[in-house]
Amino acid sequence: MKKSIMTLGILLSTTSFIFAQEKQSTGTVKDTVQSKNKTKDIEEVVIIAYGTQKKGEVTGSVGRVSAESFKDRPIARVDQALTGQIAGVKTRSTTGKPGEALEIRVRGTASISANNSPLYVIDGIVADDMANISPDDVQSIEVLKDAASTAMYGSRGSNGIVIVTTKKGVSGKPSFTFSQYYGVQTIEKKLDIMNSAEWIDYATEAINKRWVALAPGNSASDSYAVRANYYNLPNTTDYNLANINTMIDPRWGTNQVAYIDWQDAFYRPAAIQNYQLSVRGGSSNVKYAISAAYFDQEGMALNTGFNRFNLSAVVDVNISSKWKAGIALRPSYAQSYGATVDGKDNEAHKMLSMVPVAELGAGLYTNFWNNIRYRWAGSTVSPIGTLENTTNNTNEFRMLSSLYMSYDILPDLNFKISGAATNNFNINNGYTPTFNLVTNIPGQVSIASRRTVNYNRYLGEALLNYKKTFGSHTITALAGYSAENYRTTSQYNRNKGFANDDLKTFNFTQSASVLNSEYTASEWMLTSLFGRLNYDYQKKYMLFASIRRDGSSRFGWDNLYGNFAAFGGAWKVDKEDFLKDQNWLSNLKLRYSWGENGNNAIGDYRAFGTLAGGNYSFGNNLSNGLVPNTIENKNLTWEKTQSSDFGFELGLFNRIDFSADYYIKKTNDLLLQEPIASASGYTTAWRNVGSVENRGLELELSTKNLTGQFKWNTSANIAFNNNKVLQLGNNNKPIYTGFSSLTNIIQVGEELNSFYLYEAIGILSTADINNAGVAKTTGAIAGDVKYKDFNGDGKIDENDRHIIGSPTPDYYWGFTNTFSYKGFDLSVFFQGQKGGYSYALLGRAIDRPGMGTTTNVMGNWANRWRSDADPGDGKTPRLDGTTGGLLDTRWLYDASYIQLKNVTLGYNFPQELVSKLKISNLRLYVSLENVWRKDNYYGGYNPESVQSDGTDYGAYPNAKVYMMGLNFNF
């Protein structure tokens, strides 16, 4: 932390030096400053809960991203615009799959079993995400971080609020805007897996060892014919009878077999493109904004991709001097397609495991259709053939609609009523044909599936706003009522066995067998009363208080309601008489806030005992019935987060703006799916137990380094967060989580989901095996992994697992520089994190001794232990070791990284030229996304591609994007 704060201090000093240099060349400080508008930043308006405030009046911690900062970036979703832009807002690209959302965390992880994602609000309307908003329609994004800012959303404010404000109509003639970009994506990095020569060497060693151990007199130099004779096999060129455990393919190293780089075949350069046309205009009484956008992103993995079509229509009407109304319609249609690439046992995992050798006639389509599998390979079907022939299409139609009407009861009193609906219809069609036609006929084992999901959310709100100024005193009050209803229905069918593979859609009643046939429905409601009071004296002293009462149907009947209050204040020190005439000081503000938020982000009906289908035996017959499947908890109630925030803001010379926030965030009554004794008939139960604390520091700095004809601006942010479990249920008994509950632990006094592993410290030598004083696992041999004897009992067993770090980074940061000269501008954006760990389950899945030689392995196995005289890299064991089943630190990686996220170079054509083309402006730019990354992550594609517990089982890799764009108005 000290080093990072020092870095910001150096930047601040550098900026001061730059300013001093300009002073020498352009005149006095007073002359320079007085030419600026001192109140410019103070008058900036930011969006808050249920309203707006001038920036100088904000008492809470609010981060803001304007559309200007991401207008030239190839982003598919609005959430991508937040990366590295706001201190305390951590985004992670957990998958590079086209169209997928980022994971967003505001001020750390506060819950164990409940959702940790922020609440999304689009133009005042609560939404599930930002998927159906085109980035080009966004005016600004505000993130409410502290309880003072989020408490007005009560039950859902504990994880922060992301508020999206879209572009609105303006008075005047219609103004058309067209924007377009086209780019090419390439894989950000390839994994280091063995090439064909390395795998052949690896397989040869393993096969020879087994052959030599098979019988006395066997030698590693024995030919294929000698080994075939041992098994009484014919010595022919038909190798399908060969014993692959002890017989080497004599064609290795010749041109009689195909050598394959599966990653090069699996991932391709892919196109990405976007087009948007919008029009804004209106009169003094009617204003409108209408847009249409099309986004298309091919996936780098074959036959995968995503496309989306957006429409948006927003109309605001001044009916009279007192009445106003408005309506917004935002339909969108999106399609994603392609076999599942990322995750355990899915196509990327299979591809990386493929042996890089195949029969010449089969090549990339080994073990596919009529091609037999390569004898020395596993039974995995060609992932190339699977990608090209699997149907997995998801079509989603969304409609976000809202309307409002407001009435000015008095000049200072306004009543507003609004309603909104979110309607989603999602349908997924899947078809997996019969790939193996050597032993099957078309359609014989084919699987067809169909899932439809209908999701509907309805919201009604009534707001009463009052604002009055009495001399130096200003009072603003808000009272409101809100009611929401959510309902989801889902139907799923999955059948196996069809007459052929010619069609992709079948009558499910004519399949050979039914695998799944189910229908589900769920519903929940939320009702709320809320109020807020703000007091402002002379624009110097600001106080506020708010309260909200929420009732959620997700909790027990006696605990439906929760009360959430907040208060805070701010002091504008620069407005005091002893400072107000100081031209060098443009802002000095101190802030404090405290508040409590809730969290009800768990599944429906968790507080109630529910039933599931089951069979009963009556005599010799089975009868359908119902059996209990969840345990009731009438006392289940709100998870509550109390948060304090101490804020400091400083502005100098209208060119330097610095802010710092220190927060303490404690979550109590955790909504925890807690393990319980199986004798109860259940394995887990939802309860309110335990607490978690997050403490952090957030620093933001923006500077105008040069302001002449050549301009240079800088913005930087850094956030530190410390996470600790304070209490758990069952007498603080630890909870084991992660992969098979073997990689992570939740334990009092430690960070959430800390890694709980065996610690690998090297490789056992023959001397270690013979030394009784060296701790080792039972049956260990020379060349096995050497582990730390954590408890010092002289042996390696379960008791030697211990905590080694956590997924939470020490700090994360963003750093942007923008330059402009005449019509040219350049933006360079870096971001990254320091600390935290990622556990590469994908790497482990293709990186274990004792797996045999029918799959490929990580490239580090080329430097494996072969003997005491040839120990390799000192970390990779022998290929036939005994410790492959243990989950240890060999696959635990430092998740620190530095990334050059974006570089954009643009040119705005001169107005004289543009006017001749009958347009108002013309801009051409090139942009590079994910340009460069420095990390230590060897076992996976991306150190961000992890679940909440820090484990990565193979995510779709991120893409480097090279693109060109064009914008113009007319």
Give the model confidence (pLDDT) of 808-830 as tens digits. Answer: 999 999 999 999 999 999 999 99
Taking the C-alpha atoms of residue 69 and residue 827, their distance in angstroms, rounded to an integer, is: 9
Measured CA to CA, the distance from residue 945 to residue 468 in angstroms comes to 51
Q: d(Cα 716, Cα 714) in Å, to the nearest integer?
A: 7
Q: Comparing C-alpha atoms, which of 520, 517, 498, 516 is closest to residue 507?
A: 498
Q: How many CB atoms lie within 10 A of CB 287?
A: 20
The whole-angstrom separation of Cα 732 and Cα 694 is 19
**Mean pLDDT, range 315-340, rounded to an integer:** 95
Say what the pLDDT of residue 43 is. Answer: 61
Beta bridge partners of 906: 825, 925
Mean pLDDT of 680-709: 91
Sequence letter at residue 350: K
Per the listing, tokens 């078309």 go with 442
Q: What is the pLDDT of residue 16?
A: 35
Secondary structure of 883-905 in the HEC alphabet? CCCCCEHHHEEECCEEEEEEEEE
788-802: buried (b, 16+ CB within 10 Å) or exposed (e) per residue? bbbeeeeebeeebbe
Considering just the CA atoms, what is the radius of gyration of the chain in Å? 32
Please report which confidence band the pLDDT of residue 730 belongs to, taking 50, 70 and 90 as the band edges: confident
**Average pLDDT score over residue span 473-481:** 96
Listed in sequence order, the residues at least 6 apart from 209 whose beta carbon sits closer than 8 Å to its beta carbon are: 880
Residue 598 phi/psi, 5° resolution? -120, 170
The residue-averaged pLDDT of 558-584 equals: 90
- CA angle in degrees (0–180, nearest 5) for 18-23-27: 160
The rounded distance, in Å, linking the Cα atoms of 851 and 711 is: 59
Give the end-to-end CA distance of the chain in Å, rounded to a whole number. 50
Q: How far apart are CA 166 and CA 330, in angstroms?
A: 11
**φ/ψ (deg, to 5) at 906:** -130, 160
> Do 442 and 503 touch, CB atoms closer than 8 A?
no
d(CA 753, CA 739): 11
Closest CA to 106 of 119, 86, 88, 120: 88
115: left (phi over 0), alpha (psi -120 to 50) or beta: beta
Query: For position 504, what pLDDT does the model report?
Result: 67
pLDDT for 946 equals 83
Which tokens hold the place of 242?
Answer: 């060969």
What pLDDT does 94 receive?
Answer: 85
E strand intervals along 319-374: 323-337, 357-359
Half-sphere exposure (CA, 13 Å, Cβ side) for 597? 32
Q: Which residue, among 159, 105, 153, has the nearest Cα to 667 in the 3D structure?
A: 159
Looking at residues 504-528, what average pLDDT do you find? 83
CA dihedral in degrees (907, 912, 914, 919; nearest 10)?
A: 140
Q: Do 133 and 167 meet the contact criterion of CB atoms below 8 Å apart?
A: no
Phi, then psi, of 212 in degrees rounded to 5: -65, -40
Average pLDDT over residues 2-15: 38
**b vs e for 445-479, b when ≥16 Cβ sit within 10 Å of the residue's Cβ?**
bbbbbbbebebbbebebebbbeeeeeeeebebbbe
Contacts of 18 (CB under 8 A, 6+ apart): 705, 706
Query: 669: closest CA among 709, 636, 646?
Result: 636
Contact 351, 314 (CB under 8 A): no
Quote the tokens at residue 497.
């066995």
pLDDT score recorded for residue 545:
95
Q: Are 355 and 376 in contact (CB under 8 A)?
A: yes
Q: Which two tokens stand for residue 614?
A: 């089951």
Residue 557: CB atoms within 10 A of its CB come to: 10
The pLDDT of residue 44 is 78
For the ranges 68-72, 104-108, 957-961, the lowest mean pLDDT is seen at 68-72
604 or 6, which is more confident: 604
Give the 3-state secondary structure of residue 794.
coil
% residues pLDDT > 70 (the chain) = 95
Closest to 721 measured CA to CA, from 811, 833, 806, 601: 811
Q: What is the dihedral of CA 911, 913, 914, 918, to 10 degrees?
A: 130
Q: Determine the Cα–Cα distance for residues 386 and 354; give it in Å rounded to an integer.
A: 13
pLDDT given at position 7: 39
Instruction: Look up residue 841 and give its DSSP letter.
Output: H
Q: What does the pLDDT look like over 248-287, one tens digit per residue?
A: 999 999 999 999 999 999 999 999 999 999 999 999 999 9
Q: Enter the pTM of the model.
A: 0.89
445, two tokens: 């084992």
Query: Residue 615 forms beta bridges with which residues?
Result: 624
Residue with tokens 């010799």: 620
Strands 671-675 and 760-763: unpaired
| Alpha helix (H) residue ranges in 215-270 | 224-230, 262-266
Farthest CA pair distance, the chain: 106
Closest to 839 in 3D by CA, of 757, 935, 784, 934: 757
CA distance 591 to 600: 29
* Single-letter amino acid code for the residue at 496: K
For residue 772, which amino acid is it?
Answer: A
Write phi, then psi, for 509 (nearest 5 degrees). Answer: -75, -10
Burial (CB < 10 A; 0-12, 13-18, 19+), residue 952, is buried
Q: What is the pLDDT of residue 55?
A: 84
Q: What span, in angstroms and rounded, lies between the C-alpha atoms of 549 and 562?
A: 6
* pLDDT tens-place string over residues 28-53: 333 333 333 444 444 678 888 888 88
